[in-house]
Amino acid sequence: MSVVKPSLFWNIFNADEKLIKCNICERNCTIKPGMTGFCGNYLNVNGELYNIGYGLISAIEPRPIEIKPLFHYYPGSWSLTFSSWSCNFKCPWCQNYHLSMVKPREEYSLKLEPRDLVFKAIEYEQDGLCASFNEPCIQPEFLIDVGYEARNYKLYLSIVTNGYMTKSVLEKLIEAGYTGFSIDIKGCPETYRKYLGANPEIIYRNAKYIIDNSCHVEMVYLVIPRVNDWEDCYKWIIEKHVEYLGLETPLHINRYYPAYRFNEPPTPIDKLIEIRDYAKREGLEYVYIGNTIYEEYQDTVCPKCGKVLITRRGYSLVDYRLTSENKCPKCGHKIPIFGEPRLKYK
């Protein structure tokens, strides 16, 4: 595999041994010469770090923004969704394991420069771009270059992520124009210790940083039996959501189905409703249930007067009743919406 681009995020760990510390995600891999880190995207070449997955696209397709899920971000819009290879987590229930569990391979990839990707979005008449499917933020150099290119054409920029990037990467992504973040919270500390070897407080730290920098966050909690579904676990998640992100940040409570190396049965619907009801009692204003046939749980309801304001079916808007100022037409309560809606159904 050819070395493609110098990395922007690293420092020397041991000059004599030419050891490098990678500063892209919070694993902070220490990499020996000739070796790669956990995700396989970065190679130590004689004491310098190079991105060997730059521009190697594993999947690309137009998708509605609601499928991310992002319900309060450019509602009704479409984004050209793309992915690279590998991940900094190894979730045994991963639905996209054919992308996230594979190291970058040029022979299996569509090779695109950032400008090529932006021109494809324009060609397909997309409203924006979304990095998704695997963990996008292990490719910050490519995302940053895409961001600066896309801004010339007024395309929005969004990311579906596990949220485990360093603050330095996050800062540069926001500077490059990324404003929408769908962030997975995979459980409580026990879940992260057992399955991921990570610290979930970092995810909330990063989500808060995004909000504090005037960008948009929606949290996604995939409820998995015996992994993150017991009462103390979901109460911890709701508590941290309130503490770090406040009551207006949307929370998506999604149903798990067996995938990859995990064979637990699908999450009971009653469990999803139980968690939703608890979150609502704790004051969360926008709580959704996804990955089920009960699509009424995807509607946006005014937290003040109870009026149904946005109706979604099949990841599409079928009714949008907010005023031009994003207020409830019945009581005037302001609903947090980032970006102009695209009401293509009218």
**Token output for 215:** 């960008």
With cut-offs at 50, 70 and 90, classify the pLDDT of residue 3.
Answer: low
> Does residue 328 register a pLDDT over 60?
yes
Report the C-alpha gap between 61 and 325 in whole angstroms. Answer: 32
Given strand 19-22, what is the order of strands in its sheet? 10-14, 19-22, 30-31
Q: What is the pLDDT of residue 346?
A: 42
Mean pLDDT, the chain, as a whole number? 96
Report the C-alpha gap between 301 and 313 in whole angstroms. Answer: 15
With cut-offs at 50, 70 and 90, classify the pLDDT of residue 1.
Answer: very low
Domain ranges in the chain?
Answer: 5-51, 56-320
CATH class of 56-320: alpha beta
> Does residue 140 register a pLDDT over 90?
yes
Residues 6+ apart with CB under 8 A from 254: 69, 220, 221, 222, 223, 272, 289, 290, 291
Q: What is the pLDDT of residue 306?
A: 97
How much of the chain, in percent, has pLDDT values that exceed 90? 97
Q: What is the pLDDT of residue 345?
A: 46
| Helix runs in the chain, H state only | 97-100, 114-123, 140-150, 167-175, 189-191, 200-212, 231-240, 269-281
Mean per-residue pLDDT for 115-129? Answer: 98
- For 25-40, give one letter per residue: b (16+ CB within 10 A) or e: bbbebebeeeebbbbb
> Does residue 4 register a pLDDT over 90?
no
CA-closest candidate to residue 81, choices 114, 126, 119: 126
Quick one: 206 exposed, middle or buried, by C-beta within 10 A (0-12, 13-18, 19+)?
buried
With cut-offs at 50, 70 and 90, classify the pLDDT of residue 325.
Answer: very high
Q: Is 119 left (phi over 0), alpha (psi -120 to 50) or beta?
A: alpha
**Range with lowest mean pLDDT among 90-94, 315-319, 336-340:** 315-319
Question: Hey, what amino acid is at 215?
Answer: C
Question: Hey, what amino acid is at 293?
Answer: I
Q: What is the pLDDT of residue 58?
A: 97
pLDDT digits (tens, 9 = 90+) for 229-288: 999 999 999 999 999 999 999 999 999 999 999 999 999 999 999 999 999 999 999 999
Beta strands in the chain, from DSSP E residues, in sequence order: 5-6, 10-14, 19-22, 30-31, 42-45, 48-51, 56-57, 59-64, 78-83, 110-111, 128-131, 156-161, 180-184, 216-223, 251-255, 287-290, 300-301, 308-313, 316-320
∠196-44-175 over CA atoms, to 5°?
Answer: 70
